[in-house]
């Protein structure tokens, strides 16, 4: 086992808009998670990374497949109407 370790990738803060009810629920969950020794920020970051990967996959699929997925309501990409 080597002694040298890679530096962790630098992080940045992003801003997103959420309904007030979702922000309130997130704050409540953060308090509960903190009290139980969990890091909600890491969990949320992991979820965003999975979302990014899924969006990348959906964007690289054929136009017909994307249209079919949009009609079925599957996938993570919104249709411009927030749906």
pLDDT tens digits for range 26-70: 999 999 999 999 999 999 999 999 999 999 998 888 677 666 766
pLDDT score recorded for residue 74: 63
* Domain boundary assignment for the chain: 20-72
pLDDT score recorded for residue 80: 55
Residue 5's H or E segment, with its range, is: none
Helix extents (H) in 20-60: 20-35, 40-60
What lies within 8 Å, CB to CB, of 45 at 6+ separation is 11
């Amino acid at each position: 086992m080597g002694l040298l370790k890679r530096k962790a990738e630098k992080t940045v803060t992003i801003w997103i808009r959420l309904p007030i009810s979702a922000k309130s629920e997130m704050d409540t969950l953060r308090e509960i998670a903190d009290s139980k020794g969990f890091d909600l920020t890491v969990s949320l970051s992991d979820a965003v990374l999975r979302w990014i990967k899924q969006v990348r996959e959906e964007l690289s699929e054929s136009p017909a497949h994307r249209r079919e997925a949009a009609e079925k309501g599957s996938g993570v990409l919104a249709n411009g109407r927030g749906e």
